Structure 1
Amino acid sequence: MRVKRSANILVIRETPGCLWILGVFFAVIGTAFVYGSLGGYTNFDEAPPWVLGLHFFGGICAIAAGYWVLFFAPITTVIIDRNKRMVSIRRKGITGKTDTEFGFDEVGRFDVFEEFDSDGDDVYTLGLVLADERNLTISSLSSPLESDKRDLAFESNQFMGKQMPSYRNADRETEE
C-alpha cells in the first residue's frame, strides 16, 4: 500500500499487480487448454477422448481460478479529506467501480483486523470501524506482518484526529 500525504488530504492506495499477473496467467493458460481440447491441437485426431476431456476440464478450472483472483483483487483507494471531513473508499475491479463515502462523524477509527489463512496462521488486513461498531474491511490483500497494517491505521487515525500518537508506541511497548 502506498501513502501520499498533503496538508489536508491523505491517500492510501493498494494495487495488487502481482495477483493480476497471476490471474491473467491462469486465464490465458486455461484458455489455451480449452481451445486445444476443442480442436486446436495439431494432433487433435490422435488424442484419446479422455485426455481431451481432462484438458477441457483443467482449462475451465484454470480460467475460473484466474477470474476468481482478478475478481477479489481490486484497486482500492482510501481518501481522507480534512477539508470536506470525508473518508472515501473507491474500489475498481473487473466487475466495475464502487464508491463509498463516510463523514468523519460516521467513522469510529481505522483498525487492523486479524484473520486466519488456510493454514490457520494469522494474517492482518486494514479495516474501518464505523461509529455504530460495524466493521468494514478495506484491504483486499492480507499481510502476515501486523506492523505494516497497524502503521497505516495509526497514520490514518492521527490524520483524522481520532487517536493520539501514543497509540503506536503503546503497542510496541507491550510486545517487548
Structure 2
Amino acid sequence: MRLTNVGRTITLEHTPGMHWFLGGLLIVVGLVGLAAPVGMAADAGTLQAWERVAVAAAGVTALLAGGWVCWRAPRTQAVLDLAKGVGRIEHTGIGVRETIEFPLEGVDEVVLDHGKDDDGGDVYRPALRMRDGRMVLLSPVWMHHGPQDTVQALGRALDRPVARPALTR
C-alpha cells in the first residue's frame, strides 16, 4: 500500500500483486490440468476414462480457484482532494469497476480495521468511518502488514482521529 501526498491531494494505491500472482499460477495449473487429458500430455492415450475425468476436474477446480482469488483482490486507488473537499475510491478488477465518491467533511475518523486470518494471525485493512456510521473501505483486501503507518499518516493529513475497532472476523 502506497500513500503519496502532493500539495493538497492524497493518493492511496493498493495493488495486490501477490494475490494476482497466486491466482495466475492457479489459472495456468488449471489450464494445463484441462489440456493434459485431451492430448497435451505425451501419455494421455494411456489414461483410462476415470483418470481423464479426475485430472480435468482438478484442472477446473484450480482454474476456478485462480479466478476467484483474482476476482476477490481488486486494485484500489483512493484520491482525497483536500482543496475541493472530495474523496473518490476506485476498485478495479475482474468484472469489477466500482467508484465511490464522498465529501471529506463527512469523514468522522480513520479506521484500522482489524481481524484474524485462518491461522489466527492479525490482518488489517484501512477504512474511513463516516459521520452517518457507515464504513468506507480504502482497500477490501486484508493485509498482514503495511496499513498501520498509512492509516496514521492519513489521519494526520485529514486531521481526524485514528481508531482501531474490536476484531471484525
Do 1:113 and 1:127's aligned partners in 2 also have CA atoms closer than 8 Å? Answer: yes
Do 1:86 and 1:103's aligned partners in 2 also have CA atoms closer than 8 Å? Answer: yes
Report the Cα offset of residue 50 of structure 1.
1.9
Do 1:111 and 1:150's aligned partners in 2 also have CA atoms closer than 8 Å? Answer: no
SS in 1 for 2:108: strand
- AA partner of residue 82 (structure 2): R
After TM superposition, the score normalised by the length of structure 2 is 0.87
Do 1:77 and 1:89's aligned partners in 2 also have CA atoms closer than 8 Å? Answer: yes
Pairing 1:37-52 to 2, within 5 Å after superposition: 37-52=37-52
- AA partner of residue 21 (structure 1): F
Indicate the structure whose relative CO is greater, using CA pairs within 8 Å and at least 6 residues apart.
2
Structure 2 residue corresponding to 1:158, chosen from 138, 156, 159: 156
Do 2:26 and 2:62's aligned partners in 1 also have CA atoms closer than 8 Å? Answer: yes
Q: Percent identity?
A: 24
Give a deviation string over 1:24-66, Cα, whole Å, max 9, x none.
1110110111122234333222101221111111101100111
- AA partner of residue 7 (structure 2): A
State the distance in 2 between where 1:51 and 1:134 align.
Answer: 51
Task: State the number of aligned residues.
Answer: 164
SS in 1 for 2:160: coil
| Structure with the larger helix share | 1
Q: Which runs of 5+ in 2 are unaligned?
A: 165-169
State the distance in 1 between where 2:138 and 2:4 align.
Answer: 17
**Segment of structure 1 superposing worse, 34-43 or 119-128:** 34-43
Give a deviation string over 1:83-135, Cα, whole Å, max 9, x none.
11011111111113211011012222221011111123321111121111112
Report the Cα offset of residue 149 of structure 1.
2.1
Q: Which residue of 2 aligns with 1:9?
A: 9
Do 2:37 and 2:47's aligned partners in 1 also have CA atoms closer than 8 Å? Answer: no
After TM superposition, the score normalised by the length of structure 1 is 0.84
- AA partner of residue 74 (structure 1): P
Q: Which runs of 5+ in 1 are unaligned?
A: 172-176
